[in-house]
Structure 1
């Protein structure tokens, strides 16, 4: 530690040390000792953020769309479903006139088509996995975002402040190849002790790689968790849920020919004591969480 150079002090007349002086010397001495040991004296804890964080799993049929709002009104949209019409209805219903952060977990149509409509809210930032889509839907989305003046960023474990909430982007692990599902972007939102986690259509190879990386963003308990790949059999698995420890899982799903959600996924959630909410049965599912970790759940059907 660099020492401060002191100039010589003038000799002062001797005087008696009073009780008050001794007390002051003791306080100074204690402060210096604590500083030397790199220890700080106890202080009041940082107050928890006020208000509530809203996490809405929008009913978009067979697809994903999660709208998150901070107490300050800052907005995050993760995916947008496959229907521009349904997204337009949600934007009007929930007064989405500005999106601060938009994330496309991957470029499949059931995740990005609705984002074309949501781009009218002029997202400040747009995050994706870096793998360009090969469809006209992807081209329309890119054009809409460029017209909106959005800043494009590839997922690289960025952290954003969404008002008093913290948004952590989980980049796909290296070596996943060119499959869109296995390069899904993960998103974790922290508001005090209230946590939400969404990982798109990530399949077992990707989640296993995240586990081997010991990524802190996947550490539970998580109050609100989105079922991987609409409840597909190759999505969630025991090792993953053991780390995530979700309390509630939302399966964003609609009429489909894939068999989503599979009985395999439903049995897995039940075996782990996780509360299950399905958008095909309950409509839009909304969690309102406080910074102390408490929350309420509302459904719209």
Structure 2
């Protein structure tokens, strides 16, 4: 508890599982310390250790297991203001709790029912709704709130799905998949190799079977492409680039690859090499554009017109994922002609890029499309039932 004001400076949230996890791990600390010192002494004397390494190793593995499980709890943290103001506020709250602890214990003994009711109301006020709430079935597409990055989950069969991009951080995407009860992935599509789309891959692979990974054909940046290849190899997961025009079917779900049609050496080459997908699940249609910029958007529009635009009175898509987090560098005509009633913007709060750009938001308002942002709404679930498009958000 006393270290929380320091930790909040680093991460902008408060762990609610840290204290229980430390209590569970505490019995294993002494065996690790004592056995580890003994082992180090034997090694320093030149004596054989061998299997004796298990003496500190076994309790260390137990601590690791507890930490791993605690980190994977989807409701394990509460958002808190970061920076000096957040640290000072949390310091004040901590001191208040320490000062009032005796009085609270006395009240709990004298009025247990009133105290329990107050505790439950306090928990209800601070716990995120995502702790108990899940998108009601049958959700067909969810934009996960993973901060400044993309991670979208497409439904296939119960307990399974397709992940399009993995966000910037493993824990965030893992928590979203757990909230959705996705235990296996029929496919992971990494639209391109920028950090905000691939650095969370390890979290998506955690405790899940993955049938395959499809990526952008342009392995840029090469270091992150190499990391993706290494993770796929470690998991024995087939890895290959997307092929233009291919259709991938998983039950009632069909993915169609519309781009990239060619390499574009203008703007951001990795962004313009994003895999562009259409998703169809029954009557539900979505267009996922990765981070394509104006040059790739124009190329896509000219080469895939029949697949992108419906009749003037009948929009082709129910949902469009805004290109590049709502950047100002996009193809106006492509965005206007898709005419989707809902536009998803996967974006982090107070990001340094100015996403989504005012120019993009003004264009969306003029077109009458409803913009849903993960920084404001949390996880965003969408589905079509009875010809109607439904939306549920965490916030």
Q: Normalized against structure 2, the TM-score is what?
A: 0.60
Name the CA distance, whole Å, in 1 between partners of 2:160 and 2:235. Answer: 18
Please state if 1:264 is matched with 2:359: yes
Query: In the alignment, which of 205, 216, 219 is matched to residue 119 of structure 1?
Result: 205
Match of 2:249 in 1: 161
Name the CA distance, whole Å, in 2 between partners of 1:280 and 1:227. Answer: 14
Q: Look up the SS of the partner of 2:365 in the other structure.
A: helix
Q: Deviation of residue 182 (structure 1)?
A: 0.8
- 5 Å-filtered alignment, 1:201-280, equals 201-220=291-310, 221=315, 222-237=317-332, 239-254=333-348, 255-280=350-375
- 5 Å-filtered alignment, 1:52-91, equals 52-91=138-177
Q: Look up the SS of the partner of 2:219 in the other structure.
A: coil
- 5 Å-filtered alignment, 1:67-216, equals 67-120=153-206, 121-134=208-221, 136-156=223-243, 157-177=245-265, 179-216=269-306
Q: Deviation of residue 294 (structure 1)?
A: 2.2
Structure 1 segments of 4+ aligned residues over 6 angstroms from their partners: none
Match of 1:15 in 2: none
Q: Deviation of residue 71 (structure 1)?
A: 4.8
2:160 touches 2:183 (CA, 8 Å); kept in 1? no
Q: Look up the SS of the partner of 2:363 in the other structure.
A: helix
Q: Which runs of 5+ in 2 are unaligned?
A: 1-136
Name the CA distance, whole Å, in 2 between partners of 1:53 and 1:271. Answer: 29
Q: Normalized against structure 1, the TM-score is what?
A: 0.77
Q: Count the aligned residue pairs.
A: 249
Q: Look up the SS of the partner of 1:132 in the other structure.
A: coil
Q: Deviation of residue 265 (structure 1)?
A: 0.2
2:325 touches 2:356 (CA, 8 Å); kept in 1? yes
1:53 touches 1:191 (CA, 8 Å); kept in 2? no
Name the CA distance, whole Å, in 2 between partners of 1:135 and 1:154. Answer: 14
| Alignment deviations for residues 6-36 of structure 1 (CA, whole Å, 9 cap, x no partner) | xxxxxxxxxxxxxxxxxxxxxxxxxxxxxxx
Q: Look up the SS of the partner of 1:216 in the other structure.
A: helix
Name the CA distance, whole Å, in 2 between partners of 1:135 and 1:280. Answer: 29
Q: Which runs of 5+ in 1 are unaligned?
A: 1-50
**Aligned-pair Cα RMSD in Å:** 1.9
Greater RCO, CA 8 A, separation 6+: 1
Q: Deviation of residue 123 (structure 1)?
A: 2.1
